[in-house]
């Protein structure tokens, strides 16, 4: 198989340096941005496979000459490899509460470059939940032992448990996003609770997915929360500062 790696970019490009894909004679994994750029890279990679070439480079202008309108330039490195590299670690998101919104959020986040984990104390709710799940009597312990940079979204069936988990999450200074389902009244109550424990609440987003719509259907809340979360996680990521194009 051939590993196609973006080594340098200039101007507007569909993906950032470091993006990669794998190409075999019948399939591809990953993406360097789609469109004519990706088609050309796949074609060149399969030429390498047919000819037994080990390495190649491409310098592609993303302009009218190849039918793309980004206007930038991408340099690619193509390397033959016999081993499929491990998938990069995805940012982990712990979702506390496997109710309607929690399950909808787990499904929504599974479509993004994230690793959502749905956590609950109730076996029947976990049993009907999608994706990766954890059944635990001590969900707060999951926050304490979470990997560095884990985000936490709290929407359990119990306000007291929500408060306990939100406070635990706020003690993790490495959490890029901490969200709690609720209302202005619930947030005011939590702030009093947090102050009593010496915690600042500026890093807490509550309610989650707010400001987009008044629609309270679980799937709608999940969609807006997913957008809010990925926006927060990519605020300083160069790959989301570039323009994107399809062709």
Containing 117, the helix (H) or strand (E) segment is strand 115-120
Question: Do residues 96 and 165 share a domain?
Answer: yes
| Number of other residues whose CB lies within 10 A of the CB of residue 23 | 23
Question: Do residues 111 and 70 share a domain?
Answer: no
Question: Do residues 11 and 41 share a domain?
Answer: yes
Strand, helix or coil at 93? strand
Give the pLDDT band (50/70/90) at residue 69. Answer: low
Question: Do residues 72 and 135 share a domain?
Answer: no
Gap between the Cα atoms of 18 and 76, Å rounded: 10
Among 56, 80, 104, residue at a domain's last position: 80
pLDDT score recorded for residue 16: 87
pLDDT score recorded for residue 65: 63
Gap between the Cα atoms of 152 and 179, Å rounded: 6
Mean pLDDT of 62-68: 67
pLDDT score recorded for residue 67: 59
Of 45-54, 56-65, 151-160, 204-213, least confident by mean pLDDT is 56-65
If one counts the domains in the chain, the total is 2
Residue 7 confidence (pLDDT) above 60? yes
Among 32, 55, 80, residue at a domain's last position: 80
Give the pLDDT band (50/70/90) at residue 166. Answer: very high
Domain that holds residue 128: 92-233
Burial letters 172-206, b for 16+ CB under 10 A, else e: beebbbbbbbbeeebbeebeebbeeeebebeebbb
pTM of the model: 0.67
Token pair belonging to 144: 């304490």
Gap between the Cα atoms of 8 and 28, Å rounded: 21
Question: Do residues 58 and 126 share a domain?
Answer: no
- Sign of the dihedral defined by the CA atoms of residues 235, 239, 241, 243, in that order: negative
Give the pLDDT band (50/70/90) at residue 68. Answer: low
CATH number for the domain harbouring residue 224: 3.40.50.720
DSSP 8-state class, residue 91? P
Gap between the Cα atoms of 28 and 239, Å rounded: 21
Q: How far is CA 28 from the centre of its chain?
A: 21
pLDDT score recorded for residue 13: 85
Question: Do residues 104 and 206 share a domain?
Answer: yes
Of 47-61, 69-83, 128-142, 220-234, least confident by mean pLDDT is 69-83
Containing 115, the helix (H) or strand (E) segment is strand 115-120
Question: Do residues 67 and 154 share a domain?
Answer: no
Q: Report yes or no on 85 lying in a domain.
A: no
Residue 240 confidence (pLDDT) above 60? no
Gap between the Cα atoms of 187 and 189, Å rounded: 5
Token pair belonging to 90: 């995805």
The CA-based diameter of the chain, rounded to the nearest angstrom, is 70
Among 58, 80, 102, residue at a domain's last position: 80
Mean pLDDT, all residues of the chain: 88
Asked if residues 154 and 167 have their Cβ atoms less than 8 Å apart, the reply is: no
Angle CA(89)–CA(92)–CA(97) in degrees, nearest 5?
A: 155
pLDDT score recorded for residue 83: 54
Question: Do residues 108 and 153 share a domain?
Answer: yes
Question: Do residues 124 and 64 share a domain?
Answer: no
């Amino acid at each position: 198989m051939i590993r196609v790696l973006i080594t340098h970019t200039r101007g507007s490009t569909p993906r950032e340096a470091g993006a990669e894909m794998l190409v075999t004679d019948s399939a591809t994994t990953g993406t360097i941005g789609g469109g004519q750029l990706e088609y050309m890279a796949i074609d060149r990679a399969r030429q390498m496979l047919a000819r037994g070439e080990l390495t190649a480079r491409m310098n592609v202008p993303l302009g009218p000459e190849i039918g793309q309108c980004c206007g930038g330039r991408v340099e690619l490195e193509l390397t033959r490899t016999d081993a499929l590299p491990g998938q990069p670690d995805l940012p982990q998101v712990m979702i506390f509460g496997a109710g309607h919104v929690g399950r909808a959020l787990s499904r929504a986040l599974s479509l993004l470059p994230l690793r959502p984990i749905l956590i609950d104390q109730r076996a029947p709710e976990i049993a009907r939940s999608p994706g990766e799940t954890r059944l635990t009597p001590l969900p707060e312990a999951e926050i304490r032992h979470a990997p560095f940079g884990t985000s936490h979204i709290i929407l359990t069936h119990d306000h007291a448990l929500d408060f306990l988990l939100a406070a635990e999450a706020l003690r993790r200074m490495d959490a890029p996003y901490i969200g709690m389902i609720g209302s202005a009244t619930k947030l005011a109550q939590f702030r009093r609770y947090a102050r009593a424990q010496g915690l600042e609440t500026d890093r807490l987003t509550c309610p989650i997915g707010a400001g987009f719509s008044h629609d309270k259907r679980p799937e709608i809340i999940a969609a807006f929360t997913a957008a809010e979360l990925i926006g927060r996680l990519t605020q300083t990521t160069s790959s989301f500062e570039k323009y994107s194009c399809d062709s």
